[in-house]
Amino acid sequence: MDAISYERAGDVAGAVRAAQQSGAVFIGGGTNLLDLMKGGVARPMRLIDITHISGLDTVTTLPDGGIRLGALVRNSDAANHALVREQYPLLSQAFLAGASSQLRNMATVGGNLLQRTRCGYFYDTAFTQCNKRMPGSGCAALDGHNRTHAILGASPQCIAVNPSDMSVALAALDAVVRVTGPAGERTIAFADFHRLPGDRPDVDTTLQPGELITAVDLLPPLFSANSHYLKVRDRASYAFALISVAAALQMDGTRVKTARIALGGVAHKPWRASVAEQMLNGQPLTQATLNNAASAALREARPQRENRFKVELAQRAIVRAVNQAAGHAGGVA
């Protein structure tokens, strides 16, 4: 067993200083990191415990009417917070779709953002071909079992997918991630937080070394009345998404004023279906318009041998999620 040292940070500045040491990583709820450590995938030399930093475990209202979720807010607490349930039901649904209640009681907002892929080749160190775990070694999933893998935005280096439900909803809601690091505080638009694999699949986010996530900011609520999170998986609970859709609409009668659609289970990061959004914006929500938008969202899909079914599944999921968000459970005309 590798030797690991432990340090409890008292504040954000202290945590950032401690993280400058070689092999140091932050630990909050530990629901993903500890699994990675037990499997030998992650081998940190020093754990910086941030769970006792005051002020990071609160949900607060922002001056513009949005809310701030502290990085240490537990997923269960966020899902059931009155402001989240009433003003951002899409996010509450996404939280509740993830993992088990026991894990949600431990997992944090910041940790959820940093979940690593559940690709079996990444998790099993017996496989020596994994560019995400060992850059330059290859990608076993390309010619192996790839039923659950990416159909959008992948590269020859990696076809793994991001596993987070919360992040799909945050992508649709145009959230902002707040971080503090050696260079001070900065904000990252959610669309820019996670990376596509490119030639560096081992790098999941645009965080700089030593940066600590302190909060996630949500814009003033625009989609409280019309939103839906749909998760399609192999079993009814405790499973990661084959496809998920976060759909949020501003409606003007039967016309879509503004649409936001994000997909999970399809790419290395939460995938905004921007083309589909543009096709719906300003249009009456008819079945033909919705079908065309869903098809356009998957136009650039490049499925693997075992996951071609995901293309049609994603299209159907978009149609269903948007209909549910609009209050048309039985579909539109």
- Residues 309 and 248: their CA atoms lie apart, in Å, by 25
For 67-90, the pLDDT digits (tens) are 999 999 999 999 999 999 999 999
Average confidence (pLDDT) over 247-264:
98
- Residues 255 and 16: their CA atoms lie apart, in Å, by 48
pLDDT at 187: 98
Closest CA to 51 of 117, 115, 109: 109
Question: Would the pLDDT of 331 be above 80?
Answer: no
Q: What CATH number does the domain located at 227-326 have?
A: 3.30.390.50
Question: Would the pLDDT of 312 be above 90?
Answer: yes
pLDDT at 24: 98
pLDDT at 1: 59
Q: Are 245 and 324 in contact (CB under 8 A)?
A: no
For 189-201, the pLDDT digits (tens) are 999 999 999 999 9
pLDDT at 2: 78
Average confidence (pLDDT) over 157-165:
98
Predicted model pTM: 0.97
Tally: H helices and E strands in the chain: 12, 12
pLDDT at 333: 56
pLDDT at 83: 98
pLDDT at 230: 98
- The overall longest dimension of the chain from CA atoms, in Å, is 63
Which tokens belong to 249?
């609409």
- Residues 222 and 256: their CA atoms lie apart, in Å, by 13
SS3 content of the chain, % helix, strand, coil (to 5): 30, 25, 50
Q: How many CB atoms lie within 10 A of CB 239?
A: 12
For 189-232, the pLDDT digits (tens) are 999 999 999 999 999 999 999 999 999 999 999 999 999 999 99
Q: Are 246 and 259 in contact (CB under 8 A)?
A: no
